[in-house]
A and B are shown apart, each in its own frame.
Chain A
Amino acid sequence: MKDTITSTFILLLTLTLVAALAASNVSPEIIVTTVVALAFIKFWLVAFQFMELKKAHPFWKYLILGFGGLMGFILIILL
């Protein structure tokens, strides 16, 4: 548990820095997909590891993943 929280935190920081760097350096064609995908992974990590949804009933897991996935999908289509 202890290691999971710490390793999740390190991963979240890394993904945040990668997203910030990618926004300036990645080609415009894939920037939206890249940044949205990274945001979705961070969203999933916070919900499942920090909020401990990984221990919850599948209903709550699919609901949060469905919301995050739908948001990401619509953002990619719109932008």
Chain B
Amino acid sequence: MNNTKSIYYPPGGILIWIIIYLELITFGMAILALAYYGSEERELFHNSSLKLNKTIGTINTILLLTSGFFVAKGIHFFKASNVKKTVSYFNWAMVGGFGFLVLKSIEYYEKLEAGLHMDYNSFFRFYWLLTGFHFIHVIVGLVILIIITFSIRKKQTAASFEDIEASASFWHMCDLIWLLLFPVLYLLF
């Protein structure tokens, strides 16, 4: 394990944190653009936001946070060399992530059925682009979790602690992005 107090070794390694900051800045700029256009067209954004299902948004937030909690617990048990519990918690984390994708897909289906597609108005253009890119990130995070869990289960030495911590950091990054997206899209307009 590296010394995480060093500027060169944040938890998970410096490369994953460079990716995380780049992702946060990219999503952050898009969210600020959404807020800017929302301040220009307040009524349109307010009426469009009312068409989103706040309950689904809240449940999705809880699913992602729960999944992040399981990953954090998994890392905790991995440090304690408890592979069985690590795998178990990572499996539950994947269930949470999969639940998020299912619920989000249901929400997408409802929006498409109601004709609220990307060209409906500027709010829904932001909605589809931002949540769509986030959706892809969650899929990538799930694939990484599946690979890393498989690696831990098979006791392959190829996956170092830093690899596992970096995978966990990527998964938590999906939480961080959603924690910014959820209030702006569902609650603030």
Residues of A within 8 A of B (CB): 1-2, 5-6, 8-9, 12-13, 16-17, 19-20, 23-24, 31-32, 35-36, 38-39, 42-43, 46-47, 49-53, 55-57, 59-60, 63-64, 67, 71, 74-75, 78-79
- A35→B35 CA distance, assembly (Å): 14
> Which B residues between 137 and 165 are near A, CB-CB below 8 angstroms?
none
Which residue of the partner chain, among B66, B168, B176, contacts A9 with CB atoms under 8 Å? Answer: B66
User: Cβ of A67 and Cβ of B175 under 8 Å apart?
Assistant: no
Contact A39/B35 with A9-B65, A51-B172 known, Cβ cut-off 8 Å: no
State the Cβ distance, B68 to closest chain A Cβ, in Å.
5
State the Cβ distance, A71 to closest chain B Cβ, in Å.
5
Interface size classification for chain B? 35 or more
Contact A32/B188 with A43-B179, A79-B35 known, Cβ cut-off 8 Å: yes
Which residue of the partner chain, among A20, A56, A78, contacts B4 with CB atoms under 8 Å? Answer: A56
- Majority-rule SS of A interface residues: helix
10 pairs, A vs B, C-beta closer than 8 Å: A5-B73, A16-B65, A23-B54, A23-B186, A32-B188, A39-B183, A46-B68, A51-B169, A56-B11, A60-B7
A79 / chain B contacts, CB cutoff of 8 Å? 35, 38-39, 188-189
Chain B residue at minimal CB-CB distance from A49: B72
User: Cβ of A57 and Cβ of B180 under 8 Å apart?
Assistant: no
State the Cβ distance, A30 to closest chain B Cβ, in Å.
12
User: Cβ of B180 and Cβ of A5 under 8 Å apart?
Assistant: no
B94 / chain A contacts, CB cutoff of 8 Å? none
- A74→B52 CA distance, assembly (Å): 24
B182 / chain A contacts, CB cutoff of 8 Å? 39
Q: Does B36 contact A (CB under 8 A)?
A: yes
Chain B residue at minimal CB-CB distance from A57: B7
- A12→B21 CA distance, assembly (Å): 22
